Amino acid sequence: MKPIRIVYISHAPGKGSGAEQSLSETLQALNRNYIEPFIICPPGAAIVNIAKRVEIPVIECRMARISLNRFVARLSFLITAPLWIKKIRNLHPDIIHCNSLTAGEYGLVVSTFLGVPCAVHVRTSGMGKITLQLFRWARKRLTFLYVSRYVRNMVAPMLGEPIDEGRVIYNFRVHFKLDQVKKILLKESLGVNKNDLIVCTIGRVTEQKGQREFIEAGLGYTGPGHVYWFVVGDNWGVTDPKYYNDLYKLVEIEGNPKVRMLGYRLDARSIIDIADIVVLASYEDSFPGVILEAMDSSKPVIAMQYDSGAAEMVINGETGYLLTERSASKIAEAVRKLADNSKLRRQMGCAANILFQHKFSVQSHIMALGKIYTEMLNHKSNF
């Protein structure tokens, strides 16, 4: 049986994003006897090196965001579209899989010209009016894959899809673990002693992510133990740096050595592995990969119950805490409960890891994708 030839379209340049990280892990886990993958992405995208490492052919093409209400962006897309169609036609794809709504704008046009089934991975509810109308018009010709029930329940009605028909494909993470020596060395490099506790939050520094409340919780913390509060991430891709700069000033003015902004780090996963508690105070976070990484490392998680996919990942009181309000006092209170009880931290961390293996495994992700690809090919005649 010939492998299914699938062209994956990824849109993020530079450092990439959570969407690109999820795609990179999917690519590395694919059964190459069943699927023959190809990558289309912007020049210099983070996913290029990963694809080359696992010997997946990459075609680098410039992309314009046609969802933006700008004449230049649309004109750029119209100019480059024939080149895209030509390059993808030469790959003779069976399926086009778009890694985001932005990539889906390209995928829809290309798949329409080539008569190839197209899947669009919906990872956020944010889309412009033009994009929404485009996808509503073409919804019967596309297969939408939702990253969580939270996203599906918001986006499916906007697209005119019945909620119960929306396909939810949870992300996963490949297992990661530092050995004990590396853990000790990393802690020492951060000035943390063996018995000190680490609470961390990881992600792009934006108001949506709630780093201010996290920092304020750390600055006002009076609970038990020596607790360090680390913010990992920068404001890459953010047009207005004010929020990021204000947080740096806040930390500097207070001068608390246990509350630090570590900036962007390539070893962010290692920080999670040495942490004792992981906090994600995000609103409107479709399916936080940081929580998956914390679960893999057997860490209890403090997250938001509402307006986030975190509620599908954290069982309140069993694998961590889901807060009904994003405030410094609520975060500090939840941290205090865990900092004061090492047995509770271990129990919640162990339960989180068991849930991770059961619900968010690579096997379940790949099997679900394979089933959808088969369905798309079976209905190709309806395209």
363-383 tens-digit pLDDT: 889 999 999 999 999 876 554
Q: 64: pLDDT confidence band, cut at 50, 70 and 90? A: low
Q: Taking Cα atoms as reference points, which of 41, 339, 18 lies closest to residue 208?
A: 18
What is the share, in percent, of the chain residues with pLDDT greater than 70? 93
Q: 67: pLDDT confidence band, cut at 50, 70 and 90? A: very low
Q: Report whether pLDDT(104) > 70.
A: yes
Predicted pLDDT of residue 15: 61
Question: In angstroms, rounded to a whole number, what is the distance separating the alpha carbons of residues 310 and 281?
Answer: 10
The region of weakest confidence among 89-93, 124-128, 291-295, 302-306 is 124-128
Q: 342: pLDDT confidence band, cut at 50, 70 and 90? A: very high
Give the CATH fold of the 180-359 domain.
Rossmann fold (3.40.50)
Q: Report whether pLDDT(169) > 70.
A: yes
- Token look-up 């029930």 returns 149
The region of weakest confidence among 117-126, 265-274, 333-342 is 117-126
Q: 13: pLDDT confidence band, cut at 50, 70 and 90? A: low
Q: Report whether pLDDT(209) > 80.
A: yes
What is the share, in percent, of the chain residues with pLDDT greater than 90? 58
How long, in residues, is the chain? 383
When mean pLDDT is compared over 59-68, 165-174, 320-329, the highest value belongs to 320-329
The mean pLDDT value for 60-71 works out to 61
Q: 98: pLDDT confidence band, cut at 50, 70 and 90? A: very high
The mean pLDDT value for 98-118 works out to 89
Residues 6 or more apart whose CB falls under 8 angstroms from that of 277 comprise 197, 198, 199, 200, 299, 300, 301, 302, 335, 338, 339, 345
Question: In angstroms, rounded to a whole number, what is the distance separating the alpha carbons of residues 108 and 332?
Answer: 46
H or E, element range at 197:
strand 197-202
Q: 68: pLDDT confidence band, cut at 50, 70 and 90? A: very low
Q: Taking Cα atoms as reference points, which of 298, 278, 300 lies closest to residue 290?
A: 278
CB-based burial label for 198 (10 Å; 0-12, 13-18, 19+): buried
Q: What architecture does CATH give domain 4-172+361-382?
A: 3-Layer(aba) Sandwich (3.40)
CATH 3.40.50.2000 domain residues, the chain? 4-172+361-382, 180-359
CB-based burial label for 334 (10 Å; 0-12, 13-18, 19+): buried
